Amino acid sequence: MRSARHLVGRSLTWLVIGVAIFTGVLATLPVPQAAEGPARGVPEETFAIVDVTAFDGEAFRQGWDVWVEDGRIRHAGQRLDLPDDLPRLDGRGHTLIPGLIDGHVHSFPSTLGDALRFGVTTVLDQSTDPAFAAAMRPAREEVGRGTGADLFSAGMTATAPEGHGTQYGIPVETLTGSDEATEWVRARNAEGSDWIKIIYEDGSAFDMEIPSLDGETVAAVIEAAHAEGLAAVVHVSTLETALEAMASGADGLVHVWRDEVVSEADARRFAEADIFVVPTLSVMVPAEDSDVAELVSETDEAMLSAIQRQTLAARFPGGLAEGGDVAMENVRRLRAAGVRLVAGTDSPNPGTGTGISIHGELRLLARAGMGSAEALAAATSVAADAFGVAERGRIAEGHLADLVLVRGDLEEDVSRSHDIVAIWKDGYLVDRAVGPAGAGPQAEIAPAPAETLVADFEDGFEASFGEWDVTTDQMTGGSSSASVAVRDGALVVTGEIAPGVAFPWAGVIWMPGEQPMQPVDFSGREVIRFRTRGDGRQYSVMLISSAQPAGPPPTVTFVAGDQWTEVEIRLEVFPTATPEVIAGLAFVAEGPAGTFGFEVDEVEVR
């Protein structure tokens, strides 16, 4: 049986498969020595950091005092007249910087905490479910203790039918022509998009063919965005489309191109147009790049969640991560011409980790010729100004007390940025520990039993270990249905896929752990094997590795024909860094709408 390999995107509602996720000291204090967990003896909410080297978002300032009051910066400067009873922290030998801003991420509930633990207090999301963005909005508008980075987002992106951005499962209202631009942008504005992102990508830079908006439609969307008072940024991968987007009035480009090196004359044109660029070098260079690999090796693994470790270890299919040298040279030339550059990582794409990768991006920007102050500005004040994010990116009066205290001199060596002593979000100290809720190393993954047979259904709807259950989109507001029966020693799954949600599904799920959706380690196993027959429809096997996934489950499809056929799927073909870790295997029907019926038998993981 031939099986087609797909990474099939789902809406963010898939994240609920297993777990509902929406979810005075008078004396001067010493600087804490421990970077992990909550730093002891560190004041919060109202306090001062004294005699510290501060990067204020634009330049390094020596011997500064920074006075925080009720979660905001009251004053910053040399030798402030501080109240005698104000708690203080000695900043000598350290650098204080604004909370970092990652200018290009794709967020899920479980990634915002990962970002914050590495000093990224604000993320600029370039594509997500508008409902998720709306749910996160109140947290950024209140000053108070939180557990994740503040989220600003483009929400839904402008793209062509079946174009780039539609493959991730997030519901996308596509465009077919320029006449649709005005209403499309108005709808995004009503949803709460903070800016408009446009996909101008035909895949040619990657030897692929992808449906794309045409130049006229791109220009119309930019014009409509400006009419609504919204900035417009454009995803590009070629110099040609970058120049076209600039000529059409785009405010920014959210990738640097890597098909050819920009001329000095064209680089000056970008600068004269006052367009900013988010290079995302983190996904342009190989993950084995020395700067990136060194950062990961220098980071205590206990600081990384399971999701961060998974995405850092993942790799793009062949060719998709090539072109780093061209991208780097383009950044050098754009920087020399005076183009505004914004630090962004495109995490959690393969080879990146939310939060940690901004520190790798700083190193790559430095390699491209940026000084320490320039690189840090790209991840603070320049990012805030480019995307219109107020009260962030600077150590200045009235700004939020989003602060990161780093051991050593960042002006001398920006690669020290990850050596974090303490992080404050809205003036509150951030607990950097990764506990069981973060799926970190403290939550040990149990090894699988020696038994390789999951179920042969001779004893009914039972499993050799773990348990089976029905799964449908009803948990996310859909109305698809499924029922199961055991007949002649095989599991019979029937039901109906109903329209009404973006990505309907129905079928069965096997969860191998002692608790629902508890990950189990199947190291040493190589294949999932089962027998199937059915109505000739295409079905999917989804491998869920965690109760708190960073994105949609990786999927392999199969066809259930009218005769019993053995299907064997190698674990390694699931596009995930940890296919041996299984929290659930789902056998489901998806679209199109209509009835379905299939059988499975002799399910093994061996």
Between 308 and 425, where is the model more confident?
425
Structure tokens at 97: 């910087």
Can you name the residues that pair with 423 across neighbouring β-strands?
Answer: 404
The Cα 373–Cα 394 span in angstroms is: 12
Supply the pTM of this predicted model. Answer: 0.74
Instruction: Give the per-residue pLDDT at 13.
Output: 33
pLDDT higher than threshold 80 for residue 601: yes
Q: What is the pLDDT of residues 74-119, one digit of tens each?
A: 999 999 999 999 999 999 999 999 999 999 999 877 789 999 999 9
The Cα 19–Cα 546 span in angstroms is: 10
Question: Angle, nearest 10°, between helix axes 306-313 and 109-117?
Answer: 90
Most confident stretch, 19-28, 198-207, 406-415: 406-415
Domain 4-20+444-605 annotated CATH 3.40.190.10: no
Amino acid at 521: D
The Cα 11–Cα 169 span in angstroms is: 5
Residue 94 neighbours by CB under 8 Å, 6+ apart? 31, 52, 53, 405, 406, 407, 408, 421
Q: How confident is the model at residue 251 (pLDDT cuts 50, 70, 90)?
A: very high
Instruction: Give the per-residue pLDDT at 318.
Output: 57
Cis peptide before 348 (omega within 30 of 0): yes
Asked whether the beta carbons of 32 and 40 are under 8 A apart, the reply is yes
Cis peptide before 592 (omega within 30 of 0): yes
Domain borders along the chain are: 4-20+444-605
Task: Quote the mean pLDDT of the chain.
Answer: 88
Q: What is the pLDDT of residues 508-518, one digit of tens each?
A: 999 999 877 88
